Amino acid sequence: MILASKSPRRKEILNQLGFQLEIKVKDVEEVSSKIELTDKIKDISYKKVVEVAKENRTSFVVGADTLVEINGEVLGKPNDETEAREMLKKLSGKEHRVITAYTLINLEKNINISEAVESKVFFKTISNDEIDWYIESREPMDKAGAYGIQGLGAIFVDKIEGDFFSIMGFPINHFVKTLKKLGIDIKDIQKI
């Protein structure tokens, strides 16, 4: 299977289950004209995957995209430390949504699926010292919303409602259910 993503988290999640992955990515502008956030993130996920699938028509190609939303504002990856600090302050003491969309395409088999999984994350109130410490770790710099739930950012999370792995970047449970609907059993995943 081809993973159309450079995300080490997505690769790790899929590898843990036994997927044999080849990484291939295309530069795609991450924009969408869709209105609803869920549709927007599914569209961006699709665009990333379809470009790789066009050059690998017989392969299963999977990819994903994640966004963090609070009070109608989408928080992408921070461009610098100042932006990371602003994002973490916005999330401090509040609830936000994390939506991860994944796309699975195999052009030869006429498979084209895009799904989205939404979860809620509740942050504790974060002190300025904690924000400084976290930014110094460099962890927030390549993550939507400026935090990683699977790393040091876990200390900010009071609770979640939803799928941990979706918040991490790939809803593996949901994905395996999708494969099962396609007739691909868990024991066969190394073959795709």
| CATH number of 172's domain | 3.90.950.10
Instruction: Give the integer Cα–Cα distance in Å for 68 and 52.
Output: 25
Count other C-beta atoms under 10 Å from residue 89's C-beta.
13
Residue 43 known to be catalytic: no
pLDDT at 186: 82
For the beta carbon of residue 163, count every other beta carbon within 10 angstroms.
18
Q: Which of 27, 43, 65, 129 is catalytic?
A: 65
Token pair, residue 75, equals 């928080």
Helix, strand or coil, per DSSP, at residue 131 = helix
The whole-angstrom distance between residue 54's C-alpha and the CA centroid of its chain comes to 22
Domain that holds residue 64: 2-191
pLDDT at 36: 94
In angstroms, rounded to a whole number, what is the distance separating the alpha carbons of residues 18 and 75? 32
Half-sphere exposure of 8 (CA within 13 A, CB side): 6
User: pLDDT digit of tens for each residue in the chain (192 aa)?
Assistant: 999 999 999 999 999 998 999 999 999 998 999 999 999 999 999 999 999 999 999 999 999 999 999 999 999 999 999 999 999 999 999 999 999 999 999 999 999 999 999 999 999 999 999 999 999 999 999 899 999 999 999 999 999 999 999 999 999 999 999 999 999 988 887 777
pLDDT given at position 192:
78
What is the structure's pLDDT at 188?
A: 82
pLDDT of residue 72: 92
Domain count, the chain: 1
pLDDT score for 190: 72
